[in-house]
Amino acid sequence: MAREPSSVGLARRALTAQLSSWGLHEVTDTSRLLVSELITNSLRHAHGPVRVNLRVRGALLRCEVEDASPAGPVPGTPGPDAESGRGMELVDALAQDWGSDRTRTGKTTWFELVIPDPNPDRDPHPHPRPHPDPGRARASARTRARHLQCASTHPCRTA
């Protein structure tokens, strides 16, 4: 996608169309917001091309934003009147999980959202498997604590 502000809107429209074609209307609004944040970060802080990838894995929607900067996202500590700097806080608050992986050409910052299951007999709390790469940036301790809390209160699958 082009490195210009209008690319954020184009990406949101493409994401909405793809999720609609997959019938994933329940996660569209949150996905649009979080993808907007990640793309905006890439346009502000990275150079080179920006690319968005979407995948469904089980009960999770994974959205990835690739850019050419190896520097991972840094959650900001904006003042109460600041007009920016809260994007990664939003990602952390709304995503099931998120992280950033270095690539050969830069990095991929990603988030995952739970796809609501119309079958109430299935496990409503999927847990991603730990990644075998210990150097990989991972979601915050708060996100990991949600997984631990879920595991202590729900008989979730372990796979």
pLDDT digit string (tens) for 22-77? Answer: 999 999 999 999 999 999 888 888 888 899 999 999 999 999 999 999 888 877 67
- Domain ranges for the chain, please list them: 6-153
- CATH code assigned to 6-153: 3.30.565.10
Residue 46: per-residue pLDDT: 86
Q: Which residues contact 32 (CB under 8 A, 6 or more apart)?
A: 12, 15, 16
In this predicted structure, the answer to whether residue 127 has a pLDDT above a threshold of 90 is no
Residue 83: per-residue pLDDT: 65
Residue 125: per-residue pLDDT: 56
